[in-house]
Homo-oligomer: A and B are copies of this chain.
Amino acid sequence: MNTANETLNIASFAPTPRTLMGPGPSDVHPRVLGALARPTIGHLDPDFIGLMDDIKALLQYAFQTENSVTFPISAPGSAGMEACFANLVEPGDKVVVCQNGVFGGRMKENVLRCGGVPVMVEDDWGRAVDPEKVEAALGANPDAGILAFVHAETSTGAASDARVLAELARKHHCLTIVDTVTSLGGMPVKVDEWGIDAVYSGSQKCLSCAPGLSPVSFGERALKKVRNRRARVQSWFLDLNLILGYWGEGAKRAYHHTAPVNPLYGLHEALLMLREEGLENAWARHRTNHLALRAGLEALGLRFLVPEQQRLPQLNTVTIPEGVDDAAVRSRLLKEYNLELGAGLGAWAGRVWRIGLMGHSSRAENILLCVGALEALLGSMGAPVTPGALTKVQQTLENPIDVSA
């Protein structure tokens, strides 16, 4: 067999260390990397059961919830999204889905694959979800049972008002499914205060853990719906009724699937670091660093895609200057500075950069590297660049003036 010989010259993998300022994964702190390498133990080991309890408490803190059903799905954020839809949507269920970027479209796909009927509320990519449109859709579809929306659109950098949207859902007797993949840890997410029923996130954005896990939380109203389903959940792997035998409150930790032991070590350490910093401090850090990055990027002449009041502090989308080759710049940033920025998606491909300041990536030195490297490269490539951007960064870090907060 050829394949045997072809593998003979494969060596251990030595990734070039990068500064990760794309839409995720973000930089992973050495403490979290170190945690990943701790000795593997069994998923039913008493030590591991203690770790599970810790992770649940730390996730409750991060989500600001007392929901007992708060735990990480053993797969990336897309599986967390699917866990919410597969458990809550039954064939024939009508779901109002807000779409203002890639992930609202993925929600629609999930509704369809569960046999549900999506009612789409569309907004431009790069704008927040419009609550007035949502209210109109809920009013026009009194038989809808769920409102689904993305809090922080990773594809564009737009923030929607989760508090207001959840309030509208309750007023219209709908459950909410909320995507907080990019918001959790980087800006306020208040599951209980806002009355969110089902929420999912990802490990690799503002939590700054390695990718591969999806924290979720389900409130009592959502669980009631899951318990009273007419049809079985179509996914065995994501069926909450089964998973809770392992992760649930007072559960016997009965085997469902083998938990991803080492990835959970990493998530525990990352959540612990968030707890040590304090949520409010983490939100403020993301906000300040956003202002500093913005000062630098605007000084370079770059413009933001998203209107100021709707911008995510942790994901900054700027339009690429006329005549500048997107791929060439990102490729040179990677090769010459080991700096990863994100590309645009959909209609914005080739027209914007997405610059992440998420979790451990949200640091002064990263801002300086990004603004400095863009100034250096764009200048050398003949684009008009006003000097002094780095000074603007420094001034903003010293004295952040936040008109929009």
Contact = CB atoms under 8 A, between A and B. Distances in A.
Contacts of A237: 75, 78-79, 82
Contact of A6 (B27, B31, B57, B266): B57
A40 B269 contact: no
Interface stretch (A137-145, A254-262, A287-295, A306-314): A254-262
Contacts of A262: 28, 33, 36, 210-212, 263, 266
Contacts of A160: none
Interface string A228-271: 00001111110000000000000000011111111101101100
B37 A34 contact: yes
A329 interface: no
A64 interface: yes
Contacts of A15: 38-39, 41, 45, 47-48, 51, 265
Interface stretch (A104-112, A117-125, A318-326, A374-382): A104-112
Interface stretch (A18-26, A172-180, A384-392): A18-26
B3 A260 contact: no
Contacts of A16: 41, 47
Contacts of A37: 33-34, 36-37
Nearest to A239: B113
A106 B39 CA distance: 30
Number of copies of this protein chain within its complex: 2
A54 interface: yes
Interface in A183-232: 192, 202, 204, 210-212, 232
A405 interface: no
Interface in A360-374: none
Contacts of A65: 3
A403 interface: no
Q: Which of A7, A48, A77, A232 has the most CB of B within 10 A?
A: A7
Given A13-B54, A42-B340, A235-B235, A60 B3 contact: yes
A10 B113 contact: no
A58 interface: yes
A109 B238 CA distance: 13
Contacts of A202: 258
Contact of A13 (B110, B211, B269): B269
Interface of A: 1-4, 6-8, 10-18, 20, 22, 24-25, 27-28, 31, 33-43, 45-48, 51, 54, 57-58, 60-61, 64-66, 74-79, 82, 86, 106, 109-110, 112-114, 192, 202, 204, 210-212, 232-237, 255-263, 265-266, 268-269, 272, 275, 334, 340, 345
Query: Which 8 residue pairs of A and B lie closest in terms of their CB atoms, listed nearest first?
Result: A212-B260, A75-B75, A37-B37, A78-B257, A210-B262, A3-B60, A36-B36, A28-B40
